[in-house]
């Protein structure tokens, strides 16, 4: 199986950003857990798994096929996934095409994730589950509990027209709860409750080396600089 054969909207610019952030953590930080909330068919999980070090635990959480009936599910997501045949078996098959072992799989609402991941133990959390305001608020609160100092949280669809609740929850955390943006793409926002500067320097340097993507000069959100990462042209 080729990586691009896995269904999902995981754009090359974000594939690169994930790799740069995770590689930077691997070089400069001690071991820590890695978490993904909402996995779809496993495309982003496969990439994340390539950067999980020996001794680290990668935990994924999703309703999988229970999304159609679970009361905790986003109604809009329920309608979409009725056409997608989302199953845990398909996720596991896709993941095992690239890795020898599965991550720790939690089948259930993402609001239960802190029962499985210890406080302050994670270095990276990707949030791509329900996109309603309430669900993203809940997942953001869980990420804050799970992440250690200078850990990174990544939000999917924070600016999507059909997911304004997601954006509202993200900006509430930035404006009122100390979350500091690192960088944004057209699809995802990268942020931390720690110091964003080292990550910004790493992303800018890697983008310059890549030859195919660039970072725009930092703009300010209140008193915090945020860099915009995108393809050349």
Please report which confidence band the pLDDT of residue 127 belongs to, taking 50, 70 and 90 as the band edges: very high
Please report which confidence band the pLDDT of residue 86 belongs to, taking 50, 70 and 90 as the band edges: confident
CA distances to 31, 50, 204, 209 from 19, in Å: 16, 9, 13, 14
For the domain covering 7-231, report its CATH number.
3.40.50.150
Which two tokens mark 28? 């400069």
Query: What average pLDDT score do residues 156-160 get?
Result: 93
Residues 84, 189: Cα–Cα separation, whole Å = 25
Region for residue 143 given its phi and psi (left: phi exceeds 0; alpha: psi -120 to 50; beta: otherwise): alpha
pLDDT value at residue 76: 61
Give pLDDT tens digits for 53-78: 999 999 999 988 755 655 565 666 65
Q: Quick one: what percent of the chain has pLDDT higher than 70?
A: 91
Query: What average pLDDT score do residues 72-98 get?
Result: 75
- Contact at 8 Å (CB) between 188 and 13? no
pLDDT value at residue 87: 87
pLDDT value at residue 126: 98
Please report which confidence band the pLDDT of residue 84 belongs to, taking 50, 70 and 90 as the band edges: low
Residues 57, 17: Cα–Cα separation, whole Å = 21
- Beta strands (DSSP E) in the chain are 33-37, 58-62, 104-107, 122-127, 147-156, 180-184, 188-192, 213-221, 224-231
pLDDT value at residue 70: 53
Q: What is the dihedral of CA 168, 228, 14, 68, to 10 degrees?
A: 10
Place of tokens 């078996």: 89
pLDDT value at residue 7: 86
Looking at the DSSP bridge assignments, the partners of residue 229 are: 215
Q: CB-based contacts of 123: which residues, under 8 Å, 6+ apart?
A: 25, 29, 32, 33, 34, 147, 148, 151, 152
Query: What average pLDDT score do residues 76-101 get?
Result: 80
Q: How many C-beta neighbours within 10 Å does residue 95 have?
A: 23
């Amino acid at each position: 199986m080729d990586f691009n054969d896995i269904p999902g909207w995981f754009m090359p610019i974000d594939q690169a950003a994930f790799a740069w952030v995770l590689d930077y953590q691997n070089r400069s930080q001690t071991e820590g857990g890695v978490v993904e909330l909402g996995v779809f068919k496993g495309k982003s999980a496969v990439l994340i798994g390539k950067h999980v070090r020996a001794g680290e635990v990668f935990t994924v959480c999703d309703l999988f096929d229970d999304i159609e009936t679970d009361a905790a599910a986003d109604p809009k997501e329920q309608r979409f996934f009725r056409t997608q045949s989302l199953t845990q078996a398909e996720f596991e098959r896709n993941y095992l095409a690239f890795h020898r072992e599965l991550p720790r799989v939690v089948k259930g609402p993402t609001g239960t994730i802190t029962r499985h991941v210890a406080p302050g133990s994670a270095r990276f959390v990707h949030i791509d589950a329900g996109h309603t305001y309430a669900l993203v608020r809940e997942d953001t609160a869980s990420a804050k509990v799970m992440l250690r100092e200078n850990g990174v949280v990544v939000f999917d669809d924070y600016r999507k027209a059909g997911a304004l609740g997601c954006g509202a929850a993200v900006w509430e955390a930035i404006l009122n709860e100390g979350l500091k943006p690192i960088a944004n793409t057209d699809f995802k926002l990268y942020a931390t409750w720690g110091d964003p500067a080292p990550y910004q320097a790493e992303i800018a340097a890697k983008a310059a080396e890549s030859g195919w993507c660039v970072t725009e000069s930092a703009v300010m959100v209140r008193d915090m600089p945020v860099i915009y990462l995108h393809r050349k042209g």
